[in-house]
């Protein structure tokens, strides 16, 4: 099972929205079954999940203390992806969650305020020494600041090229426990989430190949 952690110290940057949409995209793309873990005391993702009619993705109730064992158990139970939502905070708890990630996503709005507060999030993610990427969210169409933000972020790490725009569909779909993919599969919002999931899935596969090669290298060295 691959674990994707969505994190940012900045409140309202789109963590929960992205978590919900990406897990559903994984399932609809036949890469599931996916499972959610909500580590935010606000429990926004769990609240959304509770009003959701669809049976999947599942939500796993997990206390942070049990996280490592629970992730192993979810993997053994057959889940292929776990999506973990986190609170907008720089806490030891978030640091512990980050360490369990195969990939960390940092949603960022194209605004100076979001960029100014990014340094602390980035420090915490870097300390965990796991792969990460920025995802631009709530971007206004054709705004110069979007391009400027992508340029600024790419100095610090990978930026997913498909931007998530500011669209009513994101909030509207979540009110009744759905995602943009389920509200209208042919909408521009559904297309950008699908594209983003495509990039993430490919990145996860690339990272898995790199780690397989590294392990094979270690085995060869051990036998030499």
Q: Which stretches of the chain bind Mg ion, using CB under 5 A?
A: 15-16, 44
Q: Which of 40, 74, 153, 196 is the binder for ligand ATP (CB under 6 A)?
A: 40
Binding part of the chain for ligand ATP, among 150-158, 159-167, 205-213, 216-224 by CB under 6 A, reads 159-167
Nearer to ligand ATP among residue 13 and residue 128 (C-beta): 13
Determine how β-strand 58-59 pairs with β-strand 34-38.
parallel
Smallest gap, in angstroms, from Cβ of residue 119 to ligand ATP? 17
User: Do residues 212 and 204 touch, judged by C-beta distance below 8 A?
Assistant: no
Residue 11 interacts with ligand ATP (CB under 6 A)?
yes
Alpha-carbon distance 35 to 45, whole Å?
12
Q: Which of 31, 126, 156, 167 is the binder for ligand ATP (CB under 6 A)?
A: 167
User: Do residues 187 and 169 touch, judged by C-beta distance below 8 A?
Assistant: yes
Cite the beta strand spans of the chain per DSSP E: 2-6, 34-38, 58-59, 81-85, 103-108, 132-136, 158-159
Q: Which of 2, 4, 14, 25 is the binder for ligand ATP (CB under 6 A)?
A: 14
Cα–Cα nearest to 59, from 70, 71, 51, 49 = 49
Q: Which of 5, 164, 193, 196 is the binder for ligand ATP (CB under 6 A)?
A: 164
Alpha-carbon distance 118 to 33, whole Å?
32
Residue 12 interacts with ligand ATP (CB under 6 A)?
yes
Give the SS3 label for residue 36. Answer: strand
Alpha-carbon distance 135 to 113, whole Å?
16
Q: Which of 1, 5, 7, 17 is the binder for ligand ATP (CB under 6 A)?
A: 17
**Count of positions on this chain that bind ligand ATP (CB under 6 A):** 19
User: Do residues 146 and 139 touch, judged by C-beta distance below 8 A?
Assistant: yes
Smallest gap, in angstroms, from Cβ of residue 44 to Mg ion? 5
Smallest gap, in angstroms, from Cβ of residue 210 to ligand ATP? 29
Smallest gap, in angstroms, from Cβ of residue 85 to ligand ATP? 7
Give the SS3 label for residue 165. Answer: strand
17 binds, among ligand ATP, Mg ion, none (CB under 5 to 8 A by kind): ligand ATP
Smallest gap, in angstroms, from Cβ of residue 6 to Mg ion? 9
């Amino acid at each position: 099972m691959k674990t994707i952690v969505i994190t940012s110290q900045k409140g309202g940057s789109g963590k929960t929205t992205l978590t919900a949409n990406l897990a559903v995209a994984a399932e609809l793309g036949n890469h599931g079954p996916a499972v959610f873990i909500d580590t935010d005391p606000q429990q926004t993702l769990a609240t959304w999940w509770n009003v959701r009619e669809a049976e999947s993705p599942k939500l796993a109730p997990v206390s942070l203390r049990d996280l490592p064992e629970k992730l192993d158990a979810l993997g053994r139970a057959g889940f292929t992806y776990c999506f973990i939502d986190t609170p907008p905070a720089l806490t030891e708890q978030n640091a512990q969650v980050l360490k369990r990630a195969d990939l960390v996503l940092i949603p960022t709005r194209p605004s100076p305020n979001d960029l100014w507060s990014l340094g602390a999030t980035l420090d915490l993610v870097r300390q965990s020494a796991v792969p990460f990427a920025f995802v631009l969210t709530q971007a206004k169409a054709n705004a110069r600041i979007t391009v400027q933000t992508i340029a600024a972020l790419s100095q610090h790490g990978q930026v997913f090229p498909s931007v998530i725009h500011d669209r009513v569909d994101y909030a509207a779909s979540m009110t009744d426990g759905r995602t943009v993919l389920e509200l209208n599969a042919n909408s521009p919002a559904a297309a950008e989430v699908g594209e983003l999931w495509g990039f993430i899935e490919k990145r996860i596969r690339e990272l898995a190949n790199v780690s397989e090669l590294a392990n094979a290298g270690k085995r060869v060295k051990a036998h030499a």
